[in-house]
Amino acid sequence: MATSRFVGYLESRKNIGGSAAGLAGLVLTFTGVAGPYWPVVVVGLYGVGALIAPPERPPLPDFPDPSAQLDAVRGDFERLGAYLAEVDLPPAAAGRLSELTGLLTALLEPGWVAEILAQDSEGVHTLSRAVRQDVPEAVDTFVRMRWWTRLAPGQDPPERHLERQLTLLQEEAEQLAGALRETEARRQEAHTRYLEDRAQ
């Protein structure tokens, strides 16, 4: 432990800065400027160099990049699909869910859309939340509430809530797709302006 700290200090910016200043002190000694007090000058300059050297900067944490995050969301989406295949939903809710999962599939499909999405951390978060939290929570709550409704009929039907939730999630996914489309449209317009400026 002590050895690694010593080696770490030898490689540190403080030691390098101090050593450079100490070498300058030796140069002053050999030119006769430091005189008989050269050891004090060399040590003093080393200390000054070590003090003014920039501090060590700890390495940044190695977080996964957005592309790796999208890969993880794809894996979770496949598991979600296996879960949804086992759930019996009313036709209207099943249709809404099919539309939603179709849009999520298109957004998560590897390719140029995913490359654009990977540059939008908020978009990746929105998809991740839909896949890992919102859709499974909506469906699972429906399944549980349907059981309670059978015990106590006459309550607000749970499929109405499920359909509303899936509609809201569909709208959120459509907004994300629209934002990605706008990004591409701006890129296309910028390239057009670039070509027009170059032609002038």
Do 125 and 191 reside in the same domain of the chain?
yes
Q: Which residues contact 104 (CB under 8 A, 6 or more apart)?
A: 77, 127, 130, 131, 173
Q: Does 60 reside within a domain?
A: no
Tens-place pLDDT, residues 150-171 = 666 667 778 899 999 999 999 9
Tell which residue, 27, 138, 34, 53, has the closest CA to residue 87: 138
Tens-place pLDDT, residues 97-134 = 999 999 999 999 888 888 888 888 888 899 999 999 99
Q: Does 127 reside within a domain?
A: yes
Do 100 and 29 reside in the same domain of the chain?
no
Residues in the chain: 200
Mean pLDDT to the nearest integer, 43-58: 73
- Full residue range of the structural domain in which residue 158 is found: 66-199
Q: Is the pLDDT score of 196 beyond 70?
A: yes
Higher pLDDT pick, 67 / 181: 181
Do 177 and 104 reside in the same domain of the chain?
yes
* pLDDT number for residue 2: 58
Quote the DSSP letter at residue 35: G
* Number of domains the chain is built from: 2
Confidence of residue 26 (pLDDT cuts 50, 70, 90): confident
* pLDDT number for residue 157: 79
Do 147 and 83 reside in the same domain of the chain?
yes
pTM of the model: 0.65
Q: Does 142 reside within a domain?
A: yes
* pLDDT number for residue 161: 92
Structure-derived torsion over alpha carbons of residues 35, 40, 41, 42, reported in degrees to the nearest 10:
110
Do 107 and 178 reside in the same domain of the chain?
yes
Do 43 and 70 reside in the same domain of the chain?
no
Q: Does 61 reside within a domain?
A: no
